[in-house]
Structure 1
Amino acid sequence: MTTTADPVETPSEAAARAVRLGDEHGVLATEEVTAFIAEQLGKVDVDGRSVCIVVPDGTRTCPLPMLMKAVHTALHGRASRMTTLIALGTHQPMSEEALAAHLGYEAGALEETYPGMRVVNHEWWDESTFADLGTIPASRLAELSEGRLTMDVPVLLNRAVVEHDIALVVGPVLPHEVVGISGGNKYFFPGVAGQDIIDVSHWIGALITSAEIIGTTAITPVRALINEGASLVPAEKLAFCVVGEAGSLDLHSISFGDTIASWASAAEVCAATHVHYLDEQVQRVISVIPEMYDDIWTGAKGFYKLEPVVADGGEVILYAPHITEISTSHPEILEIGYHCRDYFVKQWDRFKHIHWGTLAHSTHLRGAGTYDADTGEERLRVRVTLATRIPEEQCRRANLGYVDLDSIDVAAEAEGGTFVVPNAGEVLFRLR
């Protein structure tokens, strides 16, 4: 399944090039993290150069205000200008109020907390905001994807990254259904990228399947593609990659270096802290979706992280009283519904016009299964049921199960033997 963007260097060798504070044991004090950021940026040639700081949106847990204040303090007065770019991927843009809470300033008073810095959403819907970095040729994509896809891939990236001298990624590293472990160059692709490379990278991940790729520290074919795209970015690429303590805003570690080395360093810690092992499969799961996921498109992470431990014929219930929509940004998911990979692969002419990122999301949430093109029968390994404010008719239309939200007593379910996972979506569960 694995390949490398640079066959000379393994992830472990890349990790050795980064500087890391902390590990999987214990958590760091704020003063330690702040001092580490100041020390590392103090060694970077920043004076008179512009810096684009690429950060996650609100669907990732991270003590971002603390990190941003330390980064801003270390850069202010040295950098010629600073832009903070929110890596939305294709998520909903964040409002001024949400941005203020996310980054740690009073709404409407950015300059008072972060003088000289502007903050912008990645406007993935606006073609004029992209710069064309070139093309990954079909022959190279065939190599990177291990023969899964052969096509030219245009590489478009938010202009803000290209128009600054330094691109500094600041954000968490977590198990991820498409790339293996998130972070690093993933903040560029798909974080602030154009649709083509998003679609291709996600569909490669779907062809491999989420259950196989999620949580691996290796350079997966998707990571290899992302690194290839990042090699075309003209800015100097640096990153603070952090690993948080599950369920809190404390940090286990923070790694600094180029975007490949810092990611590899943090991925080692993430694999030790965010992958939990069970001794046997479970039949029924209630995955309690936190409010940072405001629709099923993002809240589906509560399924991705549980699929590997659910028995054949088992059920995952996504419990989310706050969710009222399948997707706020991608209504086309209702046109196709949720299906296994082979449902699309074996009817490709029927579905190839749909954004491949949408097809990939569909397969990730529906999980493993088979499809018989002759009979039209789809067999799915596990059941996915929504306990949300989404109407039953819409759930059924999307090929998902429905249960009345008010019929579920989470505490009683846990006492009765159901595997209940609070704050689902960031910790991956696997079998020993």
Structure 2
Amino acid sequence: MKELYYTDRAGISLDKVASMCDELLAQYTGLKKVLIVPPDYTRCYSFAGEITKILYPRLKAMGAEVKVMPALGTHMPVSPEEKQKFFGDVVPDEDILVHHWQSDTTVLGKVPQEVVSEISKGLYVTDIEVEVNHLLVDGGFDLILSVGQVVPHEVVGMANYSKNLFVGLGGRAMINKSHMLSAICGMEQALGVRDCPARVLYDYAQQHFIDGKLPVVFLQTVTTRENDVTSLNGLYIGDSRVPFEKACELAQELNIVHVERRAKKVVTYLDPEELKTTWVGNKGIYRTRMIVADGGELVILAPGVRAFGENEEMDAMTRKFGYKGRDYVLDLFNKGAFGTDKIMSAAHLIQGSTDGRFTVTYCTKPELMSKEEIESVGYQWANYDEISKRYDPHTLKEGWNTLPDGEEIYFVGTPALGLWKCDD
């Protein structure tokens, strides 16, 4: 296919997006069945909802049967309210498929343990089964459009591309083991790095089991957000790795904020409509941890957080073991506490721990998540309604703020949209 690349740091118009989608679809004739794979609502700033709303009616007008399967991974299904916000009235409920990561997958093959060992430099040695939703293989789709945002990410360095398939539509083995690979190799060595260990793993799986075998085209976005307005700054479309590479280059420029010094107190805000659990809300930790000073405090304003895990299984594991440090969790892992099918929980608990370098204060509404619950997993707690009077997320400005009493803080309003680094 002819790949399509467009960059505009000032923002790409919907008309331009529509013309690029038209140019993409003009390359395909006789389409009978098409699958669109956008992210779930925790990536609501990805512009994937808008692109899906452009693609869906055009494909229907071409006479194709069209299904939309959000790349949920282990996240909870998209709610009716989220569907409305993401897709409007364009995509009917009957055409939205739900991916069940525990039961809906088929195994395409394995990444051999010697490859995993080489990737991890001997830190993690295991075969890794490559699983995807079975409909990618046997659903009869003659075009699969994977739509998603490239942004710094705690597991895979830079999100999207093949991750949208192997995790978003993946199964237990791949999600568990790839997350553990990343955690063992070290999150801070992955964040914002394109070719980190998990990405090399997914590249191997992409090259051996997807390329030339499944009709996948990637639509990669890069976005920014300012004054509550999300802008699309890059759109890269193609069936090779090049669109991802171009998106990475722009995202590393626009979505990584280089801070001149570490802050003793960092305050970050989790949108209550977007982030409802610590499983996804801990992006507030991952994306800001590199700017928190040793002995400092990270305050997470989390008015919508009401659970630890996105599903009952992972919620229970978090409540049982908590965010109590890398060595503690690795010891449990080596003793088999996570079995072979809950390894992703171990990875998540490692990544959500600070190993005592700084403290995390989760500020929740007590009717949604209590003080006792938050403290039981190793974090400090504060009442959101009280602390938001001092740190009001709607009046603080991005970056450095000095409060009336002289306290200096660094504020991050949308942690999921970037990475904040102190280059020392």
TM-score category (smaller protein): 0.7 to 0.9
Query: Would you say 1:401 and 2:380 are equivalent positions?
Result: yes
Q: Where in structure 2 are the equivalents of 1:313-328 lying within 5 Å? A: 313-328=295-310
1:300 to 267, 277, 282: 282
Task: Identify the residue that residue 37 of structure 1 maps to in structure 2.
Answer: 21
Cα distance between partner residues in 2 of 1:400 and 1:179 = 25
The code of the aligned residue for 1:249 comes to T
For the 8 Å contact 2:166–2:174, the answer to whether it is kept is: yes
For the 8 Å contact 2:338–2:345, the answer to whether it is kept is: no
Change (3 A) 1:195 1:289: same
Cα distance between partner residues in 1 of 2:304 and 2:50 = 28
Task: Identify the residue that residue 4 of structure 1 maps to in structure 2.
Answer: none
Question: SS of 1:317's equivalent?
Answer: strand
Cα distance between partner residues in 2 of 1:65 and 1:149 = 37
Task: Identify the residue that residue 338 of structure 1 maps to in structure 2.
Answer: 323
Change (3 A) 1:150 1:296: same
Cα distance between partner residues in 2 of 1:216 and 1:207 = 16
Cα distance between partner residues in 2 of 1:327 and 1:414 = 35
The code of the aligned residue for 2:290 comes to P
Query: Would you say 1:430 and 2:421 are equivalent positions?
Result: yes
- Give deviations 1:189-223, integer Å, cap 9, x for gaps: 11110110101110111112222211112x21101
Change (3 A) 1:18 1:264: farther
Task: Identify the residue that residue 193 of structure 1 maps to in structure 2.
Answer: 170
Cα distance between partner residues in 1 of 2:325 and 2:298 = 15
Cα distance between partner residues in 2 of 1:103 and 1:245 = 20
For the 8 Å contact 2:120–2:185, the answer to whether it is kept is: no
Cα distance between partner residues in 2 of 1:200 and 1:360 = 9
The code of the aligned residue for 1:357 comes to M
For the 8 Å contact 1:185–1:259, the answer to whether it is kept is: no
The code of the aligned residue for 1:152 comes to D
Q: Greater CA deviation, 349-358 or 196-205?
A: 349-358
For the 8 Å contact 1:54–1:85, the answer to whether it is kept is: yes
Change (3 A) 1:259 1:170: farther
Task: Identify the residue that residue 11 of structure 1 maps to in structure 2.
Answer: none
- Give deviations 1:355-391, integer Å, cap 9, x for gaps: 1211111111113x3xxxxxxxxxx111111111221
Question: SS of 2:205's equivalent?
Answer: helix
Q: CA deviation at 1:237?
A: 1.9
Q: CA deviation at 1:49?
A: 4.6
For the 8 Å contact 1:179–1:223, the answer to whether it is kept is: yes
Task: Identify the residue that residue 168 of structure 1 maps to in structure 2.
Answer: 145
Q: CA deviation at 1:427?
A: 1.8
The code of the aligned residue for 1:362 comes to L
For the 8 Å contact 1:184–1:259, the answer to whether it is kept is: no
Q: CA deviation at 1:236?
A: 1.8
Q: TM-score, normalised by structure 2?
A: 0.87
Q: Where in structure 2 are the equivalents of 1:261-280 lying within 5 Å? A: 261-280=242-261
**Displaced runs of 4+ in structure 1, greater than 6 A?**
none
What residue ranges of structure 2 are gaps of 5+ in the alignment? none
For the 8 Å contact 1:277–1:429, the answer to whether it is kept is: yes
Percent identity over the alignment is 24
Q: Number of aligned residue pairs: give it.
A: 393
Cα distance between partner residues in 2 of 1:79 and 1:157 = 27
Q: CA deviation at 1:73?
A: 4.1
Cα distance between partner residues in 1 of 2:385 and 2:62 = 56
Q: TM-score, normalised by structure 1?
A: 0.85
For the 8 Å contact 1:21–1:254, the answer to whether it is kept is: yes
Q: CA deviation at 1:414?
A: 5.0
Question: SS of 2:193's equivalent?
Answer: coil
Change (3 A) 1:56 1:414: farther
Q: CA deviation at 1:426?
A: 1.9
Cα distance between partner residues in 1 of 2:264 and 2:34 = 49
For the 8 Å contact 1:141–1:151, the answer to whether it is kept is: yes
Q: CA deviation at 1:56?
A: 0.2
The code of the aligned residue for 2:371 comes to E
Change (3 A) 1:362 1:259: farther
Q: CA deviation at 1:54?
A: 0.9
- Give deviations 1:75-107, integer Å, cap 9, x for gaps: 33446432211111101111334223211217x
Query: Would you say 1:102 and 2:86 are equivalent positions?
Result: yes
What residue ranges of structure 1 are gaps of 5+ in the alignment? 1-16, 112-116, 370-379
